[in-house]
């Protein structure tokens, strides 16, 4: 739990990702190939494309306006999210620039040990991190849970079906940004589902959560907790009540993005 990530509510992204992007286009298509009448010469074949586990619908809404380029997507995306989450929520909890890129990078990093804080899609929470105790024995102070409550209250009221419509609308830009990260054959919706499953597997420690401070930064005293993915440690730091709200919304989101939505 380094000092940089302590003050960054990156976990909000995992739930607010619903407010992003796209009408997915990327079904795997398999074509039947006639059998040759005589043996064909051996040829070098490229590795098979990875199977897409959770494809989104291949037909976009023809009545929807054309998508902007990735570079020009911030304003239309923020406007679309503002209609669902509220203009103030978008202003307070999402960065104004490079929003899709920031969301994709952060979501991809949540199951890892580190999150790229400089690419976070959310601004820092104003209140500082608080530990209860002293340098020799400290625990996670419940005051930290209060810092996240306003943001979690917004997330708890989100209509996930409406947010999913925005996600499907802008999905091609999410997919483009994900492939730009170095996953040319990757499928962002599958990665999102993987990340949600990691977040839903976050344990809830019983009793006070002990901390140690080997240097300037606090870490979890329990090595098993400290070794957990960055996204899980963030959920734990938010407290059980906030984490329950986030998990409930993530479960709603997972159900939507793993089922082929109806055709328009």
At residue 63, the pLDDT reads 65
pLDDT > 90? residue 131: no
C-alpha to C-alpha distance for 137 and 263, rounded to whole angstroms: 57
| Count, residues in the chain | 264
pLDDT > 50? residue 146: yes
Q: What is the per-residue pLDDT across 26-52, written as a single tens digit (0 to 9) for each?
A: 222 222 333 334 444 444 444 455 789
At residue 73, the pLDDT reads 97
Could you state, in order of their start, the residue ranges of all structural domains in the chain?
3-27+54-257
SS3 129: coil
What average pLDDT score do residues 228-253 get?
95
Say how far residue 102 (Cα) sits from the centre of its chain: 10
Give the angle subtended at the CA of 201 by the CAs of 204 and 208, to the nearest 5°.
Answer: 15
State the CB neighbour count (10 A cutoff) for residue 176: 19
Beta bridge partners of 22: 169
Give 2's contacts (C-beta < 8 A, 6+ positions apart). Answer: 217, 219
Q: Which of 218, 203, 228 is nearest to 131 (CA)?
A: 218
Q: What is the per-residue pLDDT across 61-72, written as a single tens digit (0 to 9) for each?
A: 556 778 999 999
Q: What is the per-residue pLDDT across 79-117, written as a single tens digit (0 to 9) for each?
A: 999 999 999 999 999 999 999 999 999 999 999 988 877
**45/233: higher pLDDT:** 233
**60/204: higher pLDDT:** 204
At residue 62, the pLDDT reads 57
At residue 135, the pLDDT reads 73
**173/125: higher pLDDT:** 173
Percent of the chain exceeding pLDDT 90 equals 55
At residue 215, the pLDDT reads 80
- Average pLDDT of the chain, as a whole number: 80
Q: Which of 7, 4, 20 is nearest to 175 (CA)?
A: 20
Name the residue with tokens 């959920």: 235
Q: Which of 102, 115, 84, 167 is nearest to 8 (CA)?
A: 115
Name the residue with tokens 């997972």: 254
At residue 222, the pLDDT reads 93
**24/129: higher pLDDT:** 129
């Amino acid at each position: 739990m380094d000092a940089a990530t302590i003050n960054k509510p990156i976990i909000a992204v995992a739930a607010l990702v619903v407010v992003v992007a796209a009408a997915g286009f990327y079904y795997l298509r398999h074509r039947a190939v006639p059998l040759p009448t005589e043996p064909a010469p051996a040829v070098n074949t490229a590795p098979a494309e990875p199977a897409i586990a959770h494809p989104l619908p291949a037909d976009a809404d023809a009545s929807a306006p054309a998508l902007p380029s990735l570079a020009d997507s911030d304003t239309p995306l923020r406007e679309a999210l503002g209609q669902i989450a509220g203009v103030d929520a978008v202003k307070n909890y999402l960065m104004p620039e490079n929003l899709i890129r920031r969301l994709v990078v952060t979501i991809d990093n949540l199951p890892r040990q580190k999150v790229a804080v400089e690419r976070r899609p959310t601004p820092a929470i104003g209140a500082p991190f608080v530990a209860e105790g002293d340098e020799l024995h400290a625990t996670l102070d419940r005051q930290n849970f209060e810092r996240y409550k306003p943001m979690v209250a917004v997330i708890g009221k989100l209509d996930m079906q409406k947010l999913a419509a925005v996600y499907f609308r802008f999905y091609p830009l999410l997919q483009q940004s994900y492939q730009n990260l170095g996953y040319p054959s990757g499928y962002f919706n599958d990665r999102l589902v993987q990340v949600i499953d990691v977040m839903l597997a976050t344990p809830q420690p019983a009793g006070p959560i002990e901390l140690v401070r080997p240097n300037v930064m606090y870490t979890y005293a329990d090595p098993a907790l400290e070794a957990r993915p960055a996204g899980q440690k963030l959920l734990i730091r938010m407290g059980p009540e906030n984490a329950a709200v986030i998990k409930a919304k993530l479960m709603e989101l997972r159900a939507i993005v793993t089922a082929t939505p109806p055709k328009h």
